[in-house]
Amino acid sequence: MEKGLIISAIGMGLVFVLIILLWFIMAFLVKVTENFKGTKEEETPVEAAEADQILAFPTENKAHLAAALAAAAVVAVTLKSKKPHINTFQTSSPALGSSSNSWLNVGRVRQILARKGR
């Protein structure tokens, strides 16, 4: 009994020592890699005249307008042609066995699918 307690205490002590050691290693790596991060470039504000030029719709060039309308039409047709995804529930599984209750299996599958959405 006494040897078991000593072995347990040594094991738990080693676990905590290793956790603290890993913490120091991670803190050291954060400090080392902190210098390698690039500084974010500050965005320059756009003047009102430049913003009007950027937002202006190119009505002079009909080719650009036609290309934009064609691209929008292709995207609309592609999105409309996709079939909606329908969830199907598997009522039996090799792991659960075929003799298990179908209601329980459906409930388990619903719980698994609900966790994936989180």
* Separation of alpha carbons 81 and 83, rounded Å: 6
Q: With beta carbons less than 8 A apart as the criterion, state whether 33 and 25 touch.
A: no
The pLDDT value recorded for residue 107 is 82
| Across 85-107, average pLDDT | 64
Range name among 34-38, 40-44, 83-87 with the lowest pLDDT average: 40-44
pLDDT at 36 over 70: yes
Tell me the average pLDDT across 26-45: 73
CA–CA distance, 15 with 21 (Å, rounded to integer) = 10
| Range in 10-14, 82-86, 109-113 the model is least confident about | 82-86
Contact yes or no for 19/11 (Cβ under 8 A): no
Tokens representing 58 are 């190119």
- What value does the mean pLDDT take over residues 26-41? 78
Find out whether 102 and 91 touch, Cβ atoms under 8 Å: yes
The rounded radius of gyration (Å) of the Cα atoms in the chain is: 31
Half-sphere exposure of 57 (CA within 13 A, CB side): 6
Out of 8-12, 56-60, 71-75, 101-105, least confident range: 56-60
Give the model confidence (pLDDT) of 48-86 as tens digits: 666 566 556 555 677 777 788 888 888 888 887 766 666
Q: Is the pTM of this model over 0.85?
A: no
- What is the band of 15 on the pLDDT scale with cuts at 50, 70, 90? very high
Q: Say how far apart CA 52 and CA 47 lie, in whole Å.
A: 9
